[in-house]
Amino acid sequence: AQRVTQPEKLLSVFKGAPVELKCNYSYSGSPELFWYVQYSRQRLQLLLRHISRESIKGFTADLNKGETSFHLKKPFAQEEDSAMYYCAPPKGDGNKLVFGAGTILRVKS
Amino acid sequence: EPEVTQTPSHQVTQMGQEVILRCVPISNHLYFYWYRQILGQKVEFLVSFYNNEISEKSEIFDDQFSVERPDGSNFTLKIRSTKLEDSAMYFCATQRGLGLNIQYFGAGTRLSVL
């Protein structure tokens, strides 16, 4: 069964510090992975998907099949990055999302 | 940018009552989903819906739950007889197609069962 693990419930960093939000997965087959973000009082929204290999708001994520990881990184955190971040692969024919537990990122000034 | 709209934003109900949560999908989207998030827990999949029928449902989605798209626009989640443990945020999400299409989420309905 597909499983996603986000080991940190809370990650607190200072503004300007590097950020790495961890996500590990267990999969059968080729994984497709997304990062979703939920800012305070806003809806869940897609941040990144691994297939696009793009950088959004300075965040990147590389799929590491050897380590079965899809960690989210940003070299310099900003206060507006404070949010809840979810790692999620779609699963099944219907593309339902299976969310990790989420990591709260707090960027302190 | 088009958005998924959910109503009401907050629903308070007595245990045993029926509730209907409504979602207006983005207009050209064909796949619809309900998720829920109990306070302090992860977002959980409830059900997916395509072509006027359920594609997949989770263990949570028991006989007390039903979904329909009665008028071709609103996508509804009905809970027939609410229980205290149904208290949660309920999120609707819609997707244009399968594959790597993005799911767009509504702002959610907070259901409080008293």
pLDDT in tens, A54-68: 778 899 988 888 888
> What's residue B107's pLDDT?
94
Longest dimension (CA), chain B: 40
CB B67 within 8 A of CB B49: yes
CB B10 within 8 A of CB A67: no
Q: Which residue of A has its CA nearest to B102?
A: A46
pLDDT band, very low/low/confident/very high, at B61 (cuts 50, 70, 90): very high
Whether B99 has a pLDDT exceeding 80, the answer reads: no
Q: Report the gap between the CA of B108 and the closest CA in chain A (Å).
A: 7
pLDDT band, very low/low/confident/very high, at B109 (cuts 50, 70, 90): very high
Q: CB under 8 Å to A10, separation ≥6 — which residues?
A: A103, A104, A106
> What's residue A12's pLDDT?
97
Q: Rounded distance, CA B45 to CA B3, Å? A: 20
Joined together, the tokens standing for residue A75 give 């070299």
Q: Which residue of B has its CA nearest to A6?
A: B42
Higher-confidence position of B73 and A28: B73
